[in-house]
Structure 1
Amino acid sequence: MTTYACYIVTSFWSYGELQMALDLAQRQRGAGIEPVFVIPPSHVAQTRAKGFRFETLVPGSGKLNVMLLRDVRRRYEPKAVILADFLNYAFCERHYGLTLDDLDLFGVPVSGIDIYDFARSGGRVDTYGFYTKGMRGVTLDRYRRLLQPTPIVPPDPPRDDRTVRYPLFEDLDPIGARERALAREELGLGTSDRMILVTSAAWQQRHLSYPGRMPFIAACLTALDEILARVAGDPVVVCVGTPEIGSSREIPRLRQYSHLPADEFARITAACDLYLSTNYVSTSMCRLVLKGVPTLLVQSSIARRPDGTYTWFGRPDAPLPALLGSVPNAYPYRMFPVGWHAFLRPALKDNDFYRIMRHTELFDTDGSVARADAILRGEDADRSQRARERYLTQLDKLPRAAEIGLP
């Protein structure tokens, strides 16, 4: 008799949570646990491509969605329910009319993929410069297990028996010299050409809902353009899903793509000399770092005080960058443009993964250009490789997804 587990995905605009759930389900399938997914309409293509059973949520119709869950229970009798991102589900009532109480109809344990180790954050979720209401009221008491993928959280032993940490990726081979040479040849890159990759997801373009933050976001994009335009050696700059890059100044060898097929994206990542990321928890960034792609993480630590002045965390005596001179409502971020500077701090603390790549402050444009130039010259390669090997040794000590069993 087939044993089923029901995966529920409610984040309709972010594909990272979906991909984590698909990957976990694929590996657990090898252990005899068959997944059935409950997903938004936006996720049908990706789920179908994996060959998984799925049912589609109806936006705005709580009654129909509860009926859908009852039908899943009747047809499959799942032995466990896994929320792809329990934090998103806690606030999905306005989109799908579903609450945690509705999951009681399954009569089985409910577990959640706890992407950011929510308990350590204290519910302080800073979004576009303000703290999201209701987060402190989110409770973890109803979850049998909290599944925490690394490297987003440290690979340390979990605090309690219900927390399970497992590698987000398994069997990631580094990009070899032959693979890199072939990719560069196929892309027409010469031996002296350097290529920088910049990416963003669809959800990173949703800031239009926050018009008061648009001047700051525009200043950030201007600073990013300045960095990319000033990097030495006239590199090819490939931007995937980032339409605003290059809007404030010319970047001579800029190539922009709204989307790339998986094989073409893999070719670009194999060929690139530097991956520049403005999102500390991007699953693409995590994958590329573990495959050995040189990476520069970009954040902003400038925050507005209650009196209207600004402070630069870690640089109390530094002058305010000229780009921010007339910009209201600047806020710090580790995940552009959302923020999450405070929220992600616990996940990053003492996490050796973040020692593999270099970090820089966006509005320290001189320093950012210098760090990018150093990486392109190969000056960071040996240090980064040693840090990566140490981290992979830590990951090897964690249970694989197929070993977790039924959540």
Structure 2
Amino acid sequence: MSQRIRRTLLTLCLTVAALAGFGGPAQAHGFTSTVYADVVETDGRPRTTLELEYDLLVVSAADAEDDDALFREGTAAFENGDDRSRARVLDDHAKAAVGYVTRRFSLTSGGRPCTAHRAGDVTMTRREGVPYAVLVLDWTCADGDGPTLRSTLFPDREQYVKDTKTIVTYAVDGLSGSAALDAAHPSFSLDQAWYERFAEFFRLGAEHLLTGVDHILFLLALIVGSRTPREVVLAATSFTLAHSVTFLLAALGLVDVPADVVEPVIAASIAVVAGWHLWRLARRDDRRPTFGRGHFRLDRAGWTRLAVVFCFGLVHGLGFAGALGIDAAWSWTLLWSLAVFNLGIEAVQLALIGLSFPALAMLRHRAPRAGRLVTGLAAAGVAVMGLIWCVQRITET
């Protein structure tokens, strides 16, 4: 084997290993956190329902308020407790938790800050298998223009959180819509024009795919398992159509499938699609020429693979919707926001295919044995990670 081929093989193996190392079940989408905020009008004043990662809230609030008891009890409940005990810890330390949140999440109206009041006890929910605390706040605001919302929640002193997205949905003063906030764009006015926020949703979609290791590995399995440009284009198109349908339906609230079901199936899809390529290698069914007439036809196995990819794409769409976490009444603004988010996903997907598939096709054409070895090892690594994630996600539900 030539030095160039060895270098290519080593690079690909290291890439798969690096992706696998960042892909634990609770952190399958990278070292970022997402806060979900729903703002509605209740009795003439804004009410926000905030969902925050439980462990981050405990660590950050305990550190900010110098509450050692919250840290001890909260981390113990996170590791060994159930949702009821976790919520009870935050209720017992409500002053620290609410104080931390309201200093980093705020509403202003007419240039003056609104005053927050806790409404009800803390409850728990789950997002992509991760425990989230649900905190409801009522706000008293001065009269003025549409409220301005600001969020700088996380990171604080957490060494493993690089950035936080705050996904906002709102229906206040006859205005409704959605927005995405981060460190670079921490605030927005609820009466801001809808088109001013579309760039944020495009970037959010692109970043979600880039940091979503499980989705990237699924795409990698599609790429290494495709023998011709036609195969990879059809596979990517099938995946795109499928996940776009379920993403829009789920994000609009028309389809609701629990994350406890979606996440293990996503992990299983990675293993199945990668394993499909290994099966074809074992049958020596991958030797159809990369260029030539056969390039324009698919056999029965090829069409079956497309059907499998389409079915798994439907499940990945539910995962994309769960990550975005929008829960709002249907509107044209919401629909366009979702479409732009999806366009961000597709842009990154096309870029990854455009960068990686031509290199693999050239390797297969010039050094068929090396191409089989490289794609086989990549598929094996991806399949193993998919199986590990599947087992972990099933046992954690």
User: Does the TM-score normalized on the shorter chain lie above 0.5?
Assistant: no
Greater helix fraction, Structure 1 or Structure 2? 2
Between the two structures, name the one with larger relative contact order (CA 8 Å, sep ≥ 6). Answer: 2
TM-score for both structures, normalised by structure 1: 0.23
